[in-house]
Amino acid sequence: MRTLGFCLLLGVSGLALIWLSGLVGWWWVTPLVGVLIGILLRPAWLAMVVSLSVGGLGWGLPLALLAFTAPVGRIAAAVEAVFGLPATSGTIIILLTVVLGGVLSLVGTWVAIAARRLPAMA
């Protein structure tokens, strides 16, 4: 039960940090949050799951809220057209944005897990 509470606390804190830094345009905070999750959570699989969730939600929730007030779908469809993707009303670009947030956080976590195993290998 303690681990679940710590995971939720770390997840909500990371989500808030990613969300607020995204508002300022600091996308590079997402891998740093992943590094913190990788350092603080054990076992490694739990850190990876929490990190993937926090990164994806940290990039996806602000985009979902923005969709209520801005033409996110039309802008994403225009970006798809620039990339030469099939017209899917912006779904592919929106999904890629959420996946990018998850992957950025996951990479940071992977680096932290690998770094914390370095002293044991030496």
| Segment 19-69, tens digit of pLDDT | 999 999 999 999 999 999 999 998 999 999 999 999 999 999 998 888 888
pLDDT > 70: percent of the chain = 97
CA distance linking residue 118 with residue 122, whole number of Å: 6
CA distance linking residue 95 with residue 98, whole number of Å: 5
For residue 90, report the phi and psi dihedrals to the nearest 5 degrees: 90, 0
Domain membership flag for residue 7: no
Q: What is the DSSP letter of 43?
A: S
CA distance linking residue 113 with residue 120, whole number of Å: 12
Task: Residue count of the chain, please give it.
Answer: 122
What domain range is 98 assigned to?
49-117
What's the number of domains the chain is made of?
1
> What pLDDT, on a 0 to 100 scale, did the predictor assign at position 38?
95
CA torsion through residues 6, 62, 58, 92, sign: positive
> What pLDDT, on a 0 to 100 scale, did the predictor assign at position 29?
97
Domain membership flag for residue 63: yes
Domain membership flag for residue 11: no
Domain membership flag for residue 74: yes
